[in-house]
Chain A
C-alpha cells in the first residue's frame, strides 16, 4: 500500500467506532471502557458469556440506550442524536426479533421494505431467506428458526451498509444456519460492515474477520481469527492432575496447563520439536509413571479453547 492510499484510509472513518464505552443499568455496569471498530466489508463477532455486555454494546451503538461514558460513532455520527437518519443505513436483527402482531411473514418484510423505500426488494429477500413457502403464514405461527430467518430478512431488506445481528442463528437448524452464514458472507463481500453476537464458535470461525471477546463488560481480546488462534500446534492431554503436569513439563519440556476447572491440559508444542515426537514423549512419560491419560492428541487450537483461556485469565 502506498503512503497516499494509507493516508486516505486513515481519513475514512470506520463504520462503527466505539471508544471507552461504558453502559450502566443503575448500579450495574454492563459494559466497561470497551473499544472496538468495524470497517466496511468486515465481519466482527462479539463473543462472550450471557451478561458479558454484548447486547448492551449493540444497543448503545444503535442509539437506543445512552452510554454512561465514552463515545460511539456510526458512519462518523452519534447514534443518540442521529438515530432516524442512521437507521436508513443499517439493518438490525434484534435478539427478541419481534414484529407487529397479526402480520404475515411476507407482509412483515414488505412493511419494512416500504419503510426503507425499497418496496421492490421484499420478494427477492423473502426468497433469499428461504421464506417463500411460509410467506402467507402469520409470523407468530412460524418455528423459532423460521422467525429468526424472517428477522434477518427484515434486516436485509433495508439494503444496509451496516448489519447488526444479535445472535442470528441461536434457534436454527444446520441448514438454516448455513443459509444465514452464506447470506452474511455475501453481504460482507459486497462491502457491508457486519457486527454480530453469537455463542457459536463454529460460525465465528466461518464468518468473522475480527473477534472481540467481552467478559464481564470488558474487552479481553480484539484480534483477527488467525491472530487469535496460534498456528503452532498444541498438545492436549486429559487425565493428569496439577502435580503430575508439573513433573511432565519438567521432564519433556512442554508447557501444559489445565484449562479452567476441567481435567484437560493444553500447551504449545515446544519450538524446534516435531509435534508427533513431542506427543510420543508425553505418552512415554505417562507410561513410565503408570499414568493413564484418557486423551492425548496434537493439533491446532480451536477458537473455543482460546476463548476459554482468555476468559479464565
Chain B
C-alpha cells in the first residue's frame, strides 16, 4: 500500500502541474526576467558582474514564488473550495498533508534552480560555487514554505491571493534585486536587511561568487527558516 504522504504528494504534483497561472508565476516569469535582464544591462549591479548580481536575485524570486506565493494561494483556495474540510474528515494526518506540500514545493524549487542555473550559464554566467550554496537554497525553501502555509492558514481564497501577491512585491522590492538597499534611509535599510528575501539574495550572491557570506545574513535566514515552519504548524487548522 502506498503511503499517505506519497499519495498526497502525487495528487499535489498533478494539481501544481495543471495550474497555469501558478506555472507562469513560478516558472515563466523568473525565466523571462532572467533572459530579459541578462540581455539588457539596466540593473544597479555596482562593481559586480551583471549576471553575478542578476541570477541570485532571480533565484530568490523563483524560490519566493514557488514556496511562499504558490503555497499560500493553493492552500487558501483549497480551504475556500472545501478540500481542506474534506481532508479534515479523512484519515489524513496534518504531518502527511503538510509533508506532501513540502515535497512538491521542494521538487518545484529544485527544478526552478536547475533551469535558472542552466539559463544563467547559457547567458554567460560563470559562478564560483561555495559549498554552502545548497544550505542557502534549503533554508530559503524551508522559510518560504513555512511562511506560505502560514498565510494560507490565516486567510482564505481571494484574500490569500491579494495578501500573497502584495507581500511578494514588497519582499522582492526590498530584497536588493531592483535597487541597492544601501541607498535606502537607514531605518528602511535595516528593516530590509532583516527580511528573508534580502538575506537569501545576499547569501546566494556570496555563495555563487565563492564566498561563505555575511554572518548577519546567515543569522537572519536561519531565524526565518525556523519561524516559517513553526508558524505553519502553530496556525495550520483543518477548519
Query: Which residues on the A side are within 8 Å of B14 (C-beta)?
Result: 102-103, 107
Q: A114 CA to B58 CA in the complex, in Å? A: 38
Say whether B11 contacts A87, CB under 8 Å. no
Q: Chain B, interface size: which category?
A: 20 to 34
Q: A100 CA to B238 CA in the complex, in Å? A: 14
Q: A97 CA to B84 CA in the complex, in Å? A: 10
User: How far is the CB of A211 from the nearest CB of chain B, in Å?
Assistant: 24
Query: Is B74's beta carbon under 8 Å from chain A?
Result: yes
Say whether B89 contacts A101, CB under 8 Å. no
Say whether B78 contacts A101, CB under 8 Å. yes
Query: Which residues on the A side are within 8 Å of B1 (C-beta)?
Result: 117, 119
* Residue of B14, B15, B83, B91 with most chain A CB atoms under a 10 A cut-off: B91
Query: Is A92's beta carbon under 8 Å from chain B?
Result: yes
- 1/0 per position for B65-108, CB-CB distance to A under 8 A? 00000000010011001111110111111000000000000000
Say whether A112 contacts B90, CB under 8 Å. yes
Query: Which residues on the B side are within 8 Å of A115 (C-beta)?
Result: 4, 7-8, 90-92
Q: A107 CA to B12 CA in the complex, in Å? A: 12
Query: Is B234's beta carbon under 8 Å from chain A?
Result: no
Query: Is A88's beta carbon under 8 Å from chain B?
Result: yes
Query: Which residues on the A side are within 8 Å of B8 (C-beta)?
Result: 111, 115
Query: Which residues on the A side are within 8 Å of B82 (C-beta)?
Result: 94, 96-99
Say whether A98 contacts B85, CB under 8 Å. yes
Q: Which of A72-113 contact B (CB under 8 A)?
A: 83-85, 87-88, 90, 92, 94, 96-103, 107, 111-112
How many A residues touch B, CB cutoff 8 Å?
33
Say whether B78 contacts A100, CB under 8 Å. yes
* Residue of A88, A112, A138 with most chain B CB atoms under a 10 A cut-off: A112
- A64-B238 contact given A99-B86, A114-B7, CB 8 Å threshold: yes
Query: Which residues on the B side are within 8 Å of A116 (C-beta)?
Result: 90-91
> What are 27 A-B contacts with C-beta separation under 8 Å?
A59-B239, A62-B88, A64-B89, A64-B238, A92-B86, A92-B90, A94-B82, A94-B86, A94-B89, A97-B82, A98-B78, A98-B84, A98-B85, A99-B81, A99-B82, A100-B12, A100-B78, A100-B83, A101-B81, A107-B11, A107-B14, A114-B7, A115-B7, A115-B8, A115-B92, A116-B90, A119-B2
Known: A96-B82, A112-B90. 7 other contacts (CB 8 A): A62-B89, A64-B88, A94-B82, A99-B83, A100-B83, A102-B19, A115-B8
Chain A: residues with CB nearer than 8 A to chain B? 59, 62, 64-65, 83-85, 87-88, 90, 92, 94, 96-103, 107, 111-112, 114-117, 119, 138, 140, 154, 158, 164
Q: Which 10 A-B pairs give the minimum distances between C-beta atoms? A: A98-B82, A96-B82, A102-B15, A92-B89, A102-B18, A98-B81, A87-B91, A114-B7, A98-B83, A100-B83
